A and B are shown apart, each in its own frame.
Chain A
Amino acid sequence: MRFQDVEIRKLSDTMWEIPREGGMRVPGLVFASEAMMGDIVRDEAIRQVMNVAHLPGILKHSIGMPDIHWGYGFPIGGVAAMDAREGVVSPGGVGYDINCGVRLLRSDLTADALRPKLRELVAALHREVPSGVGSTGFVRLTAEDEEKVLTQGSRWAASRGFASAQDIACTESGGALPGADPDAVSAVARKRGRDQLGTLGSGNHFLEIDEVAEVFDDEAARAFGLFPGQAAVLIHSGSRGLGYQVCDDYLQTMADYMRRNAIDLPDRQLACAHIRSPEGERYLSALAAAANYAFANRQLLAHQARETFLRFLGMGPNDLGMRMVYDCGHNNAKFEEHEVDGRDRRVLVHRKGATRCFPPGNAEIPEPYRHAGQPVLIPGDMGTASYVLAGAPEGMRLSFGSTCHGAGRRMSRTQARSSVRGKSIVQEMERRGVIVACASHKTLAEEIPEAYKDVSEVVDVVHAAGIARRVARLKPLAVVKG
């Protein structure tokens, strides 16, 4: 397989190596089938994998997941682990939407029981869960609250009665990253986020009612509280304007740092600073604060969804059984211990459009799931499917305990809009059996199923490569889009 003048070596049916050349410090490694690889080499994502391999302190490989596509600087669907002492941190390796992620709530309801009431329920969720540009959350934050959101994340939500102990236990990192410093977040970033806590946002963010359509791994599904035919709620959102602004602010800080320290990289959107520099440390403190905002945001969205279900169905919490399965981010940089060259090293793992995916037995996994592996939530497009996966041992050896994050875009937003001109997406989705409520029809047109790769093919690759394993497939019944 060739990408421009680069020969890419096939390692297996699911792995491809991009050899070191020029200033690359490590080779590239891409997880994809042969057919997917044929598509991947058509855009610049492979070049971006190669560019990331130039970063100081990068270890083993610059990694691309099967949902990889062209991003800004780093590809989306990329993983890069840096030595914690010698390496760099890059805001572009995390992305603008810091700790954007997915949360799954299970229930004791069956999809069949919900179907007759689904249209009215979706309308109620669309009313109660703020979405779209300019929407504001139901909580008004005082300055003191804001500090707590940034330092405590979901635990702040629990202190206000918006989260249960089980919610917190089943959120990655317990819903709060350590080391957050509100003072590292600019006043502008705080202003952008102030009214947005508890809002879905727009673009590819959504709240979905799904049916567990297929279970692949009975034991893991049982551990996660999932069963065939079950109704569940999937939420995809992030750190809203606060996170976007933290990334934007620190890209400028890092660009100045690189000029002063004569760090030369192939793309200025790879702007970075050494992890142990004051600039690097300050960004990591701001990153943790924005990540905590995202945890709290998804917690409030889950609270609103739960309350709406309870009110609308006239049920008690015990009858509804709407408990957290898991909440995982897919845009982050986290310090972790990984084996590199036969010894344990402390590394900073950048995951941009990639999900942490730890195997059974890992101490970071909530105790009830530890024997099954970390739950991983992979949203697909709004018409096809989403997946629940679990971590698998090869992930630690091959991908720093990481896997894919979604289907990955196949069409640009402009292409998607052009392809549907004159059609009603809401009607088209209804024809496919999915009820849609949306804030913007333009956004909806950009999110048509055809704009995305086939999520099942993406999941097949990570399953076959042994970095994650399939647990269940979810089928969308209704979607609230921003």
Chain B
Amino acid sequence: MLEVRGEDLPGLFSSCVLALFSLLVDRRTVRGTEIRAVEGAGETAEAQLFSLLREALLLFAVHKFLARSARGTIEGKRVTLTLAGEPFDSERHSVDREIKAVTAHLMSVKRLPGGYLARFVVDV
């Protein structure tokens, strides 16, 4: 299970997506030369996070893009993350594990004094 903290929801969502990419690769080896956007939507913070993480996983699984950094915005029920990164290059990036999916298993977003805490599980 991954536990991620953020000062606010956009920061929390950005950190969750970066945590996902950190499971794949040492992000220090990823250059921020290209920009991609991922969007998530939902009625609750958990639903928004789930939708966002699923999209972020496909960015690598389908489009072979690795993210180095992220910045998030929320408008109503929609979250948008702008990701800086680059395409996967087998010469420079060592991808440690395959992530099959982001699961809804035990997923939670909680408000804490001074910020937020998210928990989620990925299937590897």
B97, A442: Cβ atoms closer than 8 Å: yes
Known contacts A133-B24, A241-B61, A413-B124; is-contact A202 B105 (Cβ 8 Å): no
B100, A72: Cβ atoms closer than 8 Å: no
Q: Does A244 contact B (CB under 8 A)?
A: yes
A97, B97: Cβ atoms closer than 8 Å: no
Residue of B nearest to A189 (CB): B62
Q: Does A191 contact B (CB under 8 A)?
A: yes
- Complex CA gap A134/B25 in Å reads 12
A72, B123: Cβ atoms closer than 8 Å: yes
A133, B97: Cβ atoms closer than 8 Å: yes
- Chain B residues, CB < 8 A from A413: 124
- Complex CA gap A288/B105 in Å reads 25
With both chains docked as a complex, state the minimum distance between the C-beta of A187 and any C-beta of chain B, in angstroms. Answer: 9
A96, B100: Cβ atoms closer than 8 Å: yes
With both chains docked as a complex, state the minimum distance between the C-beta of A85 and any C-beta of chain B, in angstroms. Answer: 29
Q: Does A427 contact B (CB under 8 A)?
A: no
B101, A440: Cβ atoms closer than 8 Å: no
With both chains docked as a complex, state the minimum distance between the C-beta of B44 and any C-beta of chain A, in angstroms. Answer: 12
Q: Does B121 contact A (CB under 8 A)?
A: yes
Q: Does A449 contact B (CB under 8 A)?
A: no
- Chain B residues, CB < 8 A from A482: 98
B98, A188: Cβ atoms closer than 8 Å: no
A202, B121: Cβ atoms closer than 8 Å: no
- Chain A residues, CB < 8 A from B100: 96-97, 244
Q: Does A294 contact B (CB under 8 A)?
A: no
Known contacts A134-B88, A191-B62, A192-B61; is-contact A73 B105 (Cβ 8 Å): yes
A134, B90: Cβ atoms closer than 8 Å: yes
With both chains docked as a complex, state the minimum distance between the C-beta of B101 and any C-beta of chain A, in angstroms. Answer: 5
B105, A440: Cβ atoms closer than 8 Å: no
> Which listed residue (B54, B97, B123) contacts A443, Cβ 8 A?
B97
With both chains docked as a complex, state the minimum distance between the C-beta of A255 and any C-beta of chain B, in angstroms. Answer: 8
Residue of B nearest to A482 (CB): B98
* B 58-94 binary contact with A (CB < 8 Å = 1; else 0): 1001101000000000000000000000001010001
A134, B95: Cβ atoms closer than 8 Å: yes
- Complex CA gap A97/B100 in Å reads 8
- Chain A residues, CB < 8 A from B94: 440
- Complex CA gap A202/B121 in Å reads 18
- Chain B residues, CB < 8 A from A97: 100
- Among B58, B88, B90, B101, the one with the most A-chain Cβ atoms within 10 Å of its Cβ is B101
- Chain A residues, CB < 8 A from B61: 192, 241, 244-245
Known contacts A72-B121, A134-B90; is-contact A440 B96 (Cβ 8 Å): yes
How large, as a class, is the contact surface on chain A? 20 to 34
Known contacts A72-B123, A133-B24, A269-B105; is-contact A188 B97 (Cβ 8 Å): no
- Complex CA gap A330/B38 in Å reads 35
- Chain B residues, CB < 8 A from A132: 95
> Which listed residue (B24, B64, B98, B103) contacts A72, Cβ 8 A?
B103
* A 201-244 binary contact with B (CB < 8 Å = 1; else 0): 11100000000000000000000000000000000000001001
- Complex CA gap A272/B81 in Å reads 31
With both chains docked as a complex, state the minimum distance between the C-beta of B113 and any C-beta of chain A, in angstroms. Answer: 27
- Complex CA gap A446/B88 in Å reads 24
Could you tell me the dominant secondary structure of chain B's interface residues? loop
> Which listed residue (A134, A188, A191, A203) contacts B124, Cβ 8 A?
A203
Q: Does A281 contact B (CB under 8 A)?
A: no
> Which listed residue (B62, B97, B121) contacts A203, Cβ 8 A?
B97
Residue of B nearest to A73 (CB): B105
B104, A269: Cβ atoms closer than 8 Å: yes
B58, A188: Cβ atoms closer than 8 Å: yes
- Complex CA gap A180/B96 in Å reads 33
Within A453-482, the residues touching B (CB, 8 Å) are 482
Q: Does A268 contact B (CB under 8 A)?
A: yes
Residue of A nearest to B58 (CB): A188
- Chain A residues, CB < 8 A from B90: 134
Known contacts A134-B88, A192-B61, A268-B104; is-contact A202 B123 (Cβ 8 Å): no
Known contacts A134-B88, A191-B62, A192-B61; is-contact A202 B101 (Cβ 8 Å): no
- Chain B residues, CB < 8 A from A442: 96-97
- Chain B residues, CB < 8 A from A192: 58, 61-62
- Complex CA gap A248/B98 in Å reads 15
With both chains docked as a complex, state the minimum distance between the C-beta of A469 and any C-beta of chain B, in angstroms. Answer: 33
Q: Does A247 contact B (CB under 8 A)?
A: yes
With both chains docked as a complex, state the minimum distance between the C-beta of A185 and any C-beta of chain B, in angstroms. Answer: 14
A133, B95: Cβ atoms closer than 8 Å: yes
B95, A269: Cβ atoms closer than 8 Å: no
Residue of A nearest to B50 (CB): A252
With both chains docked as a complex, state the minimum distance between the C-beta of B59 and any C-beta of chain A, in angstroms. Answer: 11
- Complex CA gap A73/B62 in Å reads 26
Residue of A nearest to B89 (CB): A134
- Complex CA gap A201/B123 in Å reads 14
B binding-site residues for A, Cβ under 8 Å = 24, 54, 58, 61-62, 64, 88, 90, 94-98, 100-101, 103-105, 121, 123-124
| 21 sample A-B contacts, Cβ–Cβ < 8 Å, listed by A number | A72-B104, A72-B105, A96-B123, A132-B95, A133-B24, A134-B64, A134-B88, A134-B95, A188-B58, A188-B62, A203-B98, A244-B61, A244-B123, A248-B54, A248-B101, A251-B104, A413-B124, A440-B94, A442-B96, A443-B97, A446-B97
Chain A to chain B: the 10 pairs with minimum beta-carbon distance, closest first: A133-B95, A244-B100, A72-B105, A442-B96, A96-B100, A202-B98, A72-B103, A248-B101, A133-B98, A191-B62
